[in-house]
Structure 1
Amino acid sequence: MPRWLRRGLAWLGLGALACLLLAALLVLVLRFVNPPANIYQLSEARRLGGITRAWVDLDTLPAHVALSAAAAEDANFCVHHGFDLDAIRAALAGGGRRGASTISQQTAKNVFLWPARSWLRKGMEAGFTLLIEGIWPKHRIMEVYLNVAEFDTGVFGIEAAARHHFGIGAAELSRTQAARLMAVLPDPKGRSAVRPAARELSRAAQIAAGARTLDADGRGACLAR
């Protein structure tokens, strides 16, 4: 192998290692420091002239809020290590018509990356998912997820969502209200938690029942205070 090629590969390897260490350091810092506005939030703030967001600690919320999020988006959140292989197989069997993205993957994308889909972003999403699963406890992953998720146009996080939709703080959300908020997550700009259509009402009922099941069968144990 020519010397210039060996040197190039060595520098490439060092660069990759430096990027990995930098990413790991960033993830470590955000285990203890709440994330700033992400790329999508900044773009929405420019487009809309401002957004609404407010941080709330997971420990201040009723348990059914986090359980509802898991029931809606990732029932195996407490038992997988970032990727739900059963959900991925089901998605492939269904021809890719159903999603298989876990809460950990969504958190990695929302906090560290950009919304547009590409193979590069998917690869980086997988890397950040492994990092946050290795460095953050599940409790922290759920806390960050609930605080960065979009619940309506320009409305980010469960606290802002509760005030926007119901005029109360997130700590006051009932089981029904929490389930209705989670029911809009696949399409927050096209669904309403306050005036839900029949489909959203049915979905919210399923989420509320799923939250109770996760609590009863132990799959929501990592979210217990």
Structure 2
Amino acid sequence: MAKTSHSKTAKNGRNGSGPQRRSLFRRLITWFVLIIVLLVGLPYLLIPLYALPQIHPVSTLMLAENAAGRSYERQWVSFDAIAPVLVQSVMMSEDGQFCTHSGVDWKALNLVIDDALDGEATRGASTIPMQTAKNLFLPSTRSVLRKALEIPLALWIDVVWSKRRLMEIYLNIAEWAPGVYGIEAAAQAYFGVSAAKLSARQAARLAVTLPNPIKRNAANPSRSMQKLARVIEGRAKQSGAYIKCLYD
């Protein structure tokens, strides 16, 4: 009788281990899904908070600097404390249709997709809202998944924020040099002036550093960078019709 009872107990223990493992697996899957939902959904909750002018958000790159124990330069300035010529230069360099689109330049994006499908080299189609979404919430590595997350965030940003607030945040979180974030720190680092005192030439050189702030130096530009800056400087002078959403 004792042997029979022991055998039944062992059998019941073996039978119970399967459901326990399945229950643990289901709990792990549930927690994993909840974490993914939280990570994807949190930016949509933060965006309305960031609409408040007293909030000075930081980028994922700044958080990475902190996590690595490195310091960085960033001095927040209001939109009105930034030279209009800098705003004009950045807009004409990065997103000429900033005032007319709703976060995504669909025409430019469709051209990029068509080029990619045809096997041709693609050019950038990221708008300032898309770059802001990436800088605030997403990793800097290029991928289809990042772009898929970036587009709806850019659309939501354009709905919730004014164009002035959007440009203010973008200019204050963009990386302008290694460890230098925000236009005020960039103006001081490169030219020893405040963002409000930037000249047209300085503004154009800063604008063309944005696509590659690690390799481009606004204070010591290469010949190709100088040529590009002159083009942007000329466009900035003719940008009145393009910036009405910011200065009307």
Shorter-chain TM-score category?
A: 0.7 to 0.9
What residue in structure 2 maps to residue 79 of structure 1? 100
- Contact 2:56 2:76 (8 Å CA) reproduced: no
- Whether 1:203 and 2:228 are equivalent positions in the alignment is yes
For 1:35 and 1:119, locate their aligned partners in 2 and report how far apart those are by CA, in whole Å: 29
Q: Does 1:31 align with 2:51?
A: yes
Identity %: 38
In structure 2, the gaps of 5 or more residues are 1-29
Cα distance in structure 2, aligned partners of 1:131 and 1:205: 34
Moved more, 23-32 or 173-182: 23-32
- Calculate the aligned-residue CA RMSD, in Å: 2.3
> How far is the alpha carbon of 1:86 from its aligned partner?
2.7
Relative distance call for 1:97 and 1:214 in structure 2 (3 A) is same
1:72 partner amino acid = S
Task: State the partner residue of 1:137.
Answer: 162
CA contact (8 A) 1:69 1:182 kept: yes
Aligned residues: 210
Cα distance in 2 for residues equivalent to 1:124 and 1:89 = 17
**How far off is 1:223 after superposition?**
1.8
Distance in structure 2 (CA, Å) of the matches to 1:42 and 1:214: 34
Pick one of 190, 196, 205 that aligns with 1:180: 205
Task: Name the CA distance, whole Å, in 2 between partners of 1:68 and 1:88.
Answer: 22
Tell me the CA shift for residue 211 of structure 1: 1.3
Q: Relative to 1, partners in 2 of residues 1:80 and 1:157: Cα closer, same or farther, differing over 3 Å?
A: same
Counterpart of 2:151?
126
1:116 aligned to which of 141, 145, 151: 141
* Rounded Cα–Cα distance in structure 2 between residues aligned with 1:174 and 1:18: 44
Task: Say if 2:50 and 2:57, in contact at 8 Å, map to a contact too.
Answer: no
Shift of 1:21: 7.1
Q: Which runs of 5+ in 1 are unaligned?
A: 1-10
Structure 1 residue 203: Cα displacement: 0.8
Take 2:134 and 2:64, find their aligned partners in 1: how far apart are those partners?
Answer: 15
Task: Call closer, same or farther: CA 1:93–1:18 in 2, change over 3 Å.
Answer: closer
Q: Which moved more, 1:192-201 or 1:91-100?
A: 91-100
- Does the C-alpha gap of structure 1 residues 190 and 131 become closer, same or farther in structure 2, counting only changes over 3 Å? same
Query: Is 1:165 aligned to 2:177, yes or no?
Result: no
Counterpart code for 2:58: A
Counterpart code for 2:45: L
Q: What amino acid does structure 2 have at the position aligned with 1:174?
A: S
Matched, 1:152 2:177: yes
Q: Residue 190 in 1 paired to residue 215 in 2?
A: yes
Report the AA paired with residue 135 of structure 1.
Answer: V
Query: Is 1:61–2:82 an aligned residue pair?
Result: yes
2:15 is matched with: none
In the alignment, which residue of structure 2 is the partner of 1:6?
A: none
Partner of 1:106: 131
Q: Closer, same or farther in 2 for the Cα pair 1:90/1:130, shift >3 Å? A: same
